[in-house]
């Protein structure tokens, strides 16, 4: 699957989640992808490292852009550090990868939960609906685990700022082809989950 790479995006202050993330990845992930560790100054405990100096969260986009520039694959599966995988999605991912090769979208997010984005049914993949986002939907940029076309991701990151600012305020051209595929509960945002439950 040499045209899609996985980028594990993290920073030094989130080092406490790396072990749990990787243990879940090792247990549940079976697709063969080039994998990159997009961290900061702490040595990468897994994957090929693309280090960067430590930056404040306001420079998150600048950091990731510099790292994406070093990834040669056409599509990049951006997976943030605190999204812990809960079960295997290999069959779905392989169908998604084949669909991406055929239709060349700008982005396709693999959602683990419901979304406030607005979209319509496009087709079925592996027995689940694949949705296309409306051109005026909120959250046309998302950092839920998301497969981005590399140049589109770099264009999004040019705006700078935090991941939350990019999701809220990015102005994406209407003609961009952005899709969403839902597999409920396949990963869990560990930090948000901990904040809500204390567990």
The pLDDT value given to residue 2: 63
The secondary structure of 97-142, three-state, reads: HHHHHHHCCCEEEEECCCCCCCEEEEEEECCEEEEEECCCCCCCCC
Tracing tokens 């705006």 back to the chain, one arrives at: 159
CATH number of 4-197: 3.90.550.10
* Per-residue pLDDT in tens (0 to 9) along the chain, 199 residues: 569 999 999 999 999 999 999 999 999 999 999 999 999 999 999 999 999 999 999 999 999 999 999 999 999 999 999 999 999 999 999 999 999 999 999 999 999 998 878 998 899 999 999 999 998 898 899 999 999 999 999 999 999 999 999 999 998 999 999 999 999 999 999 764 433 334 4
The pLDDT value given to residue 93: 97
Q: How far is CA 55 from CA 30, 41, 64, 139, in A?
A: 32, 10, 11, 25
The pLDDT value given to residue 114: 85
| Domain ranges across the chain | 4-197
The pLDDT value given to residue 193: 40
Contact 11, 39 (CB under 8 A): yes
The pLDDT value given to residue 136: 85
């Amino acid at each position: 699957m040499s045209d899609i790479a996985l980028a594990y995006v993290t920073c030094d202050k989130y080092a406490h989640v790396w072990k749990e993330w990787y243990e879940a990845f090792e247990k549940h992930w079976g697709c063969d992808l080039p994998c990159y560790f997009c961290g900061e100054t702490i040595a990468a405990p897994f994957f090929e490292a693309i280090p960067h100096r430590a930056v404040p969260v306001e420079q998150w986009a600048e950091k990731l852009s510099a790292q994406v520039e070093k990834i040669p694959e056409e599509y990049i599966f951006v997976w943030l550090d605190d999204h812990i995988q809960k079960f295997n999605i290999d069959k779905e991912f392989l169908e998604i990868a084949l669909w991406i090769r055929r239709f060349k979208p700008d982005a396709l997010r693999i959602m683990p939960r419901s979304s406030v984005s607005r979209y319509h049914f496009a087709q079925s993949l592996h027995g689940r609906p694949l949705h296309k986002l409306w051109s005026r939907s909120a959250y046309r940029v998302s950092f839920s685990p998301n497969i981005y076309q590399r140049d589109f991701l770099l264009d999004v990151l040019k705006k700078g700022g935090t991941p939350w600012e990019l999701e809220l305020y990015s102005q994406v051209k209407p003609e961009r082809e952005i899709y969403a595929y839902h597999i409920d509960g396949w990963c869990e945002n560990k930090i948000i989950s901990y904040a809500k439950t204390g567990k």
